[in-house]
Chain A
Amino acid sequence: MKQNKDHSEEGTAHISSFRDHWSTLVTLLLLTIVTVVISVFGANLAALSVATALLIATVKVIVVAYYFMHLKYEKKIYTWLILLVVVLFAAFTILTALEYYNR
């Protein structure tokens, strides 16, 4: 399949509908409201509040990548490569944090 002389016609791209885009946006806005409400009014979660905020941010990022950036419909290799980048960055932060945590 890769051997075609011209790659422009390869496969047929998935076309997301406007409706899909609207629902993605609504999801993202809801998550934003949740994270702001927890931070401003929830208070007293102490250290957990950062963890919660980052967790919600990560969910938002996954939604954006999966739907807006079409990862859902792309070849699997892109997902794997993104995971590789995430693993590397996680390793950088974990190893660095390990150092500072044990000073």
Chain B
Amino acid sequence: MEHAHGLHLPNSGHNRDDEASKMGMWLFLFTELLLFGGLFIVYMVYRMLNHEAFLLSSFELNVWLGTINTVVLLVSSMTIAMSITAIQKGNSAQSIRLLMTTVGLSLLFLVIKYFEWSSKIHHGLFPGMDYYNNLPKGEALFFFLYFMMTGLHALHIIIGGILIGVVAYRTKKGEVTSKKYTLTENAGLYWHLVDLIWIYLFPLFYLIH
């Protein structure tokens, strides 16, 4: 019976395979892109059909808060890219510091988002509220898409922040090292994707004056 376990296949699914993990992450990012892609198609169609209303509604959004959030995300993209450099060079402590900076920036993004959303909700612009229900159809669609797309994006920020926190914790425990840092890389890829989507959301909602 023993020699049944003797056969070791060269390419086993149970071997460690960093390249496979990375490829899996990229494929997952593709699905995320298309998930948002569906919403971008809806945005495009309704913008074509309600051109003026979309223009008018976008003036309601605060360009400066949007710009600040863009900068926050870009900086956080850099800090997580740096944390990969740090772990590759074997500097765990620095890597953890950079990861935690990224988490901090993600929280900052969410706080700013919170103030933005609450001022909109204060005006009754959230779907289902009385003021919203009396809006012209095109503007109602704009605000629905605004809440749906930035909301889904914020959800990704939360998930990404938690993921990066886990990576920092595991780096501290010594499970992520200069020889084994795929986890950091994959968290980085995910975080960059969140950034990429924001790069499109920002002009489409805030800058179409």
Instruction: Determine whether A and B are in direct contact in the complex, meaning some CB atoms lie less than 8 angstroms apart.
Output: yes
Find out whether the CB atom of B63 lies under 8 angstroms from the CB atom of A40.
yes
CB < 8 Å neighbour of B200 from A40, A49, A57, A96 = A57
Name B's interface SS.
helix
A60 to chain B, nearest CB (A): 5
Q: Which of B1-33 contact A (CB under 8 A)?
A: 8, 10-11, 15-20, 26, 30, 33
In the complex, whether B74 has a CB less than 8 A from a CB of chain A is yes
Interface size class of B (residues with CB under 8 A): 35 or more
**Distance A68 CA – B206 CA, assembled complex (angstroms):** 25
| Chain B residues with CB below 8 A from A92, complex form | 37, 41
The verdict on A60 contacting B199 (CB below 8 Å), with A7-B16, A15-B85 known, is yes
CB < 8 Å neighbour of A61 from B26, B45, B196 = B196
In the complex, whether B166 has a CB less than 8 A from a CB of chain A is no
**Distance A13 CA – B18 CA, assembled complex (angstroms):** 11
A76 to chain B, nearest CB (A): 13
| Chain A residues with CB below 8 A from B202, complex form | 57
Find out whether the CB atom of B40 lies under 8 angstroms from the CB atom of A29.
no
Name A's interface SS.
helix
**Distance A82 CA – B209 CA, assembled complex (angstroms):** 31
Q: Which of A44-103 contact B (CB under 8 A)?
A: 49-50, 53-54, 56-57, 60-61, 64-65, 67-70, 78, 81-82, 85, 88-89, 92-93, 96-97, 100-101
The verdict on A39 contacting B74 (CB below 8 Å), with A6-B16, A10-B19 known, is no
| Chain B residues with CB below 8 A from A60, complex form | 199
The verdict on A96 contacting B45 (CB below 8 Å), with A13-B88, A43-B209 known, is yes
CB < 8 Å neighbour of B34 from A13, A17, A29, A85 = A85
The verdict on A5 contacting B200 (CB below 8 Å), with A68-B78, A93-B40 known, is no
Find out whether the CB atom of B17 lies under 8 angstroms from the CB atom of A7.
yes
The verdict on A61 contacting B199 (CB below 8 Å), with A92-B41, A97-B48 known, is yes
CB < 8 Å neighbour of B81 from A21, A61, A93 = A21
| Chain B residues with CB below 8 A from A53, complex form | 203-204, 207-208
B178 to chain A, nearest CB (A): 10
CB < 8 Å neighbour of A29 from B10, B71, B180, B195 = B71
CB < 8 Å neighbour of B44 from A3, A25, A65, A96 = A96
The verdict on A6 contacting B15 (CB below 8 Å), with A24-B78, A25-B74, A25-B75 known, is yes
CB < 8 Å neighbour of A5 from B15, B26, B67, B195 = B15
The verdict on A39 contacting B34 (CB below 8 Å), with A6-B15, A32-B70, A69-B192 known, is no
Bitwise, A11-44 to B at CB < 8 A (1) or not (0) is 0010111100110110011001001100110010
**Distance A71 CA – B179 CA, assembled complex (angstroms):** 20
CB < 8 Å neighbour of B195 from A56, A64, A82 = A64
Given contacts A39-B63, A40-B207, A54-B203, 5 further A-B pairs with CB under 8 A are A5-B15, A15-B89, A21-B81, A25-B78, A68-B195
